[in-house]
Structure formats: structure tokens, C-alpha cells
Structure 1
Amino acid sequence: MDYKATEPANDQRQQELPRAHRIAVVGAGQVGSTFAYALLTSGLVGELVLIDVNRSRAEGEAMDLSHAVPLSNPMRIWAGDYADCAGADVTVISAGTAQRPGEARLELLKRNAKIFRDIVPHIVEHNRTGILLIATNPVDILSYVAWKESGLPAARVIGSGTVLDTARFRYLLGQHLGVDSRNVHAHIIGEHGDSEVPVWSMANITGIGLESYCRNHGCDLGPEAREDIFARTRD
């Protein structure tokens, strides 16, 4: 008897595996490498490429992260170049120079804006569909520089803003009040820098306003304590 191979019914066909989500990180210094490690432990994406002007640094970080894969989540990690930004859902820019002791923010801006004007065109040459996430200081102005240099819609160029400040603010409040900082709900708004603003009126502990919480628990959160917490948040 002859047997004729037939295709399985549509509902029996093995579905094609979805494309692995890719994140590109430009700048493999302390911020970029820490972000990459957090991304590895999150298990959110399947591909991570590190790009740095110092190729050896990117290769070393990629190797270290790859060696952690057996103890974490499956992920393809490598050191690449700007062409590897193609297909990336998000490209994180953490490249730049740190502020020197006594250096004005304007001088830092000039140096990092120059770096961005070199980096961003290389990224968008290979990827005009992904999101740019900016984490280099001064982040608010550099997010604007990245937007103008990229020509991308404003909604696809995002700065980290005051996320770090808000996290630090919540931690310090929790530490001062003796509560788990995950139960502290408070925000820093405005610029990531000297002009940022703590929104004390909206801060609460699991929905209980700070004044009510402190009154009920005998906490000291007067003007001096608030100024100290905000100063440590900002500085």
C-alpha cells in the first residue's frame, strides 16, 4: 500500500516561535552594565547587545553576563556595533562622561551633547522603529538632544527623568519612618537635578498621608527632617 504524506491540519501545525525581543545598550560603563545585569535577571527579553567605544570593555561585560545565564534566564548576549541596533525594541543610551569635581552642569552638557551628536545618528541609521531610552546626565536636556538628532517622534525618545530620585526619596522616607520603602508612595517631579521638587502633599504610607501617619505613630517629620531627606535625595 502506498502512503502519501499529507500536511497536518492548520490547528495541528507547530506555530512559529515568536521573535526574541532585543535590547541594545550603548555605553557599557557602570550604568549600562548594571542595567544589563538587571535585564538578565528580569527575563524580559531574549537578546541583549552591548555597544561601547571601548570594544574590550563591552566584550568583557558580555562575557561575564553570559556566564551568569545558566543561573538566571535564557538570553543571547554579545558585544556588537551599531548595526546590531537593527531590530532592537529599545536602545538604551548610557554613554557619556561623568561630571568632574567642581565642573558646572553646563560644561558636562557640552561634552555629553557632543557625544550624543555622534552616537544617535549611528543608531537611527540602523533602527528607526524602536524606542530610545536615555540615561546619561543631564538626562532631561540630553533626551531633547537625542530627539532632535534622531528625528523620531517625541513619544519614542524617553528620558529616565526622576525615576531614580523618586526611588531614593521613597527609600529615605521609609528608613526615617521605620517602614518598608515599598509601602511608601511619594514622588519627585521636575528636572533630574537641582530644580527637582518633592511632592510632600501627595506622599503617603499605604494610603495614609504623612501628617496623619506621623501623628498616629509619633514620628518626627518636621521641616528640618524633610529638608535633610530631600537634600540627600537631590545630592
Structure 2
Amino acid sequence: MAALLQRAFFGRTKQASGDLLRRFSGRLPAAACAAPLPLARDFAAGPYIPLPDKLQEGAVICYPHQGRTFVLGPNEPREHKDGGFRIAVIGASGPMGRQISRSLVQMRKTFSGLGPMTVQFVGRREGHSIGMLMGLCSELRDAYEEFCPHLEVAVDLEAVRADIIVMAAGAMLSPAYKTHADLVTANAEIFGYYSSGLVHNNSRSIVLVVSNPVEFGVDTFVSAGFKQEKVLGTGAYLDSMRFRREIGAQLGVPRQQLSGLVLGVHGLGMVPCWSTVRLSSMASPEKEEKLEKLKSEGLSRKHDTNAVRALAYEVRDMMVAGNALAATGLVNKQPADVRAAVRRYLSFFSGPNYPRVGIAESTCRLMGDLLNGSETRSAAQVQLSSDKFLGIQGHAIGAPVLISGRGFSLAPLELHAMEQEAIQGAAKEADELNRSANAMNLFQMIKRKAAAKKVPA
């Protein structure tokens, strides 16, 4: 009832709304009047407060649903929870972050039962980031006015408040960064900057790491102080969806009728686990028989990361040269597990800033699994505190997990001996990559200290 009255008062000043509510309060149960009205500026009520020319340190630009834009100062009280939830997208002004932001807003109806939803877009003060994020808010409100969540723009890490943090900042595979080794060089320091800057105000948050190398990203956020069971990398989740789609295309069935996991490292070293693949009982016996043949072939084929990497680089070079049809034909000739690993190179190297639609949608689906109130069996990059998964411990790896609103727990899973061996090999590769990234971070820290000493006091 109080909510109905609040809507009835829409457009009135705060004082007038309060007077009217008191006039009706005697006719309502006490509980209906207990919740205070939101600030007038949270709606379209009251006089418009002009935006400042410059954003104060720690301030946030707020776009309330069906309200006027305003700036919330660093020392002003922040409404949080209200029975709802907050999501922060780190790197929202980049091509990956923008696509994730759009997918999140589109999924607002899916999250409608969870109460008010706020999406905070986190960018930088340098360059055009603020302008791009304000433009993004304007476009999203134009497109999804009927159900758009509350939106915010933050460019200082101390202003970030979220229940779920999506780490999407940094370089991506592209013509400028052609290998995961290139991404280590580009992103190692970025992971350290954001993880250390966010943990103070968000130590209880769930973190979804989308940026690569995802294993190093997970380890960095855990090392910064985020809870181990609440930091997940999205790579294995996305790889599993790609694997199921390729199998489904070959069988002529929807991906939804298939289960199956990809574990190990994200990318070309991923380990598609044919032993985990199952087909829904809705499928015909002929489809089941065809799947068993594919599984038998897949389990008899030795996992060769070097061969997959060589093929991916060939596809990459063909795409960069403009031979898209020939590159696609080469990918289509491969078995389903190899196609799942390599097909991404057709889009990643088709041009600059190609929209990462698949990655964005899978990230939002994973978020749905976290928020749907149940445990979902899946795969994700996680750091394990025990050696219960193939003896791997101390660094992140794609593992079978149960995902819920509390984070993850390790899911029991029996694997073929060859799959176990491949995952253990992938874990060694991930550990070597992490050592390289840590060395890069140490080198950058030494450079910063040396530069600071040269600056006169």
C-alpha cells in the first residue's frame, strides 16, 4: 500500500508528499506506513538539481529508473539493499564491458523477483571513459525504459559498491593481442590494481572474472582478500556451452538437451570431457547412438594442445588476411571438441572491437545461476584450498562446481584417465602462466618505485 501511495505522490515535492502521507496514515495499518519515502530526487519530484561540470572524487552519477540524473556525493548516505541487489561491471566502457552491461539490462525481467536492481558501470577518469558510460546509460534507458534497472557511473574504486562484481577490464584477444602470453603482459597489472582497490568496500562480494588470463585473475582477486569460495572465472562455463553447442549441431539437437563439461584452463588448452556428455531422454535412440559414437571417438583421440594451438593460429592468420570463408571451412572440418576451442578465433580476429555477444550472454547466464536460489552443477575457474580435485591446489583451474548464491563448492565427478592427465597438464600450464604474470607485476612495481624516487619532493 505504501508503494502505491509513493507512486501516487510521483511529481510532488518531498514536503508535500510527506504531508499527504500523514493525512492518509490514519486509514492505513502501521506496517504500511513504516517504510520511509525515498528521497525526492530518486523520482522526478522536486526541482531539478543541475549536474556539476566536474565529478568530485568518490562521487557517483545516478540514473534512477524513471527519474532525473543526479550526482551522489562521496559523503552522502547510500541506499543499499532495500531487498534488492547491486552489480558492478568493471571496464564497462570497453567493448567487453559494454556488451555485458547491455545483456545485464536485457535480463532485468529475469531478476524481477529479487527486488530493486542497480547496475554500476565502472570506468576511469582518464580519456573518454566518463562520456562513454554516460552515453551508455542514455542509450540503455532509451532502449529498455519499461524495465531498465537503476544505473550508476563510477570512476573511483572507493565509490564502487556491489553484491556481484564482474571483472571485464583489460585487453582481449584481438589483432593487437594475438596470444594469451600477450594478455599476461597487458593485463597482469590491471588485475592487481582493481582487486586491491575494490576489496576494502566489497570483501563479501561475489566476483566473476571475465578478463584473461582468467586463471591469473581469479588468483589475484583471492590474494587481494576476496573470499576464495566467492571468486569464479567464467572461462570453463563458456567453454562448456561452446562444447555442447558444437555437439548439438552435429547431432541436430538443441544445446539445452545436452550436458557436458569443459575443464582445465580457458582457451586453447581447455579439456573437453567427453565422459561427462549426456543426452536428454527426449532425444531419439538414433541420436543417442550417434552421440555414443562421438564420445568413443573423442575419448580415443589424444589431447594435443600444441596441435590445437597451431590450428588456431592458422585460422587467426587467415582471418587477419581477410580469408574468412576459407578459415570458417577449416574450422568446420574439425571434430566437435576442436571446433569448440578454435571457432572463437573466427570472431576475435574478424576486426577491431568485435562485439563479444556470446561471452556477455554466458556471463549473465552464470549470474542467473548464482541468483536463482538453487545449486547448479557447472564448471568454472576456481582456486581450490584442498587437493580433492586431481591433486590440484594453490592456484585456479577450471573445475566441476556447484554454484549458488553463496559462491561455489567443488562437485564430485568421475573422469576418464586420459581426461585427468590432460587437466593435470593444463594445471601446470596455468601455474607457469601465473608465475610469468607475477613476475610481470613485480617488474612493474619496481619500475614505479624507481620512477617515484626520481621525482623531486
CA contact (8 A) 2:122 2:160 kept: no
Tell whether 2:123 aligns with 1:52: yes
Q: Distance in 2 between matches of 1:79 and 1:65?
A: 13
Q: Distance in 1 between matches of 2:228 and 2:104?
A: 25
Aligned-pair CA distance for 1:176:
1.0
Q: Distance in 1 between matches of 2:31 and 2:174?
A: 62
Counterpart for residue 143 of structure 2: 68
Q: How does 1:1-235 map to 2 (within 5 A)?
A: 13-14=33-34, 18-28=82-92, 29-43=94-108, 44=111, 46-53=117-124, 54-71=129-146, 73-81=147-155, 82-86=157-161, 88-99=162-173, 101=175, 103-148=178-223, 150-207=224-281, 213-215=287-289, 221=294, 222=297, 228-235=335-342
Opposite residue 199 of structure 2, the aligned amino acid is V
CA contact (8 A) 2:171 2:186 kept: yes
Aligned-pair CA distance for 1:208:
8.4
Aligned-pair CA distance for 1:64:
1.4
CA contact (8 A) 2:195 2:220 kept: no
Q: Distance in 2 between matches of 1:218 and 1:91?
A: 38
1:128-148 alpha-carbon deviations (Å, 9 max, x no partner): 222222100111121112221
Q: Distance in 1 between matches of 2:247 and 2:288?
A: 12
Opposite residue 51 of structure 1, the aligned amino acid is V
Matched residue SS, 1:185: strand
Q: Distance in 1 between matches of 2:230 and 2:277?
A: 30
1:59-79 alpha-carbon deviations (Å, 9 max, x no partner): 2222211222324x2411132
Q: Distance in 1 between matches of 2:283 and 2:263?
A: 18
1:155-210 alpha-carbon deviations (Å, 9 max, x no partner): 12221131111111111111111111111112111211232211212212105899
Q: Distance in 2 between matches of 1:13 and 1:35?
A: 38
Under a length normalisation based on structure 2, what TM-score does the superposition of the two structures give? 0.44
CA contact (8 A) 1:63 1:78 kept: no
Aligned-pair CA distance for 1:211:
9.6
CA contact (8 A) 1:203 1:209 kept: no
Q: 1:40–1:103: structure 2 CA closer, same or farther, 3 Å change rule?
A: closer
1:50-98 alpha-carbon deviations (Å, 9 max, x no partner): 1123222222222211222324x24111322223312x10111100112
Q: 1:34–1:103: structure 2 CA closer, same or farther, 3 Å change rule?
A: closer
Matched residue SS, 2:171: coil
Matched residue SS, 1:122: helix
Matched residue SS, 1:143: helix
The RMSD of aligned alpha carbons is 3.2
Matched residue SS, 1:200: strand
State the percentage of identical aligned residues. Answer: 23
Aligned-pair CA distance for 1:100:
5.0
Aligned-pair CA distance for 1:153:
1.9
Q: Distance in 2 between matches of 1:109 and 1:37?
A: 27
Instruction: Give the unaligned 5+ runs of structure 1.
Output: none
Q: 1:103–1:130: structure 2 CA closer, same or farther, 3 Å change rule?
A: same
Number of residues paired by the alignment?
A: 227
Under a length normalisation based on structure 1, what TM-score does the superposition of the two structures give? 0.81
1:20-41 alpha-carbon deviations (Å, 9 max, x no partner): 3111101122322222122212
Please tell me whether Structure 1 or Structure 2 has the larger radius of gyration of its CA atoms: 2
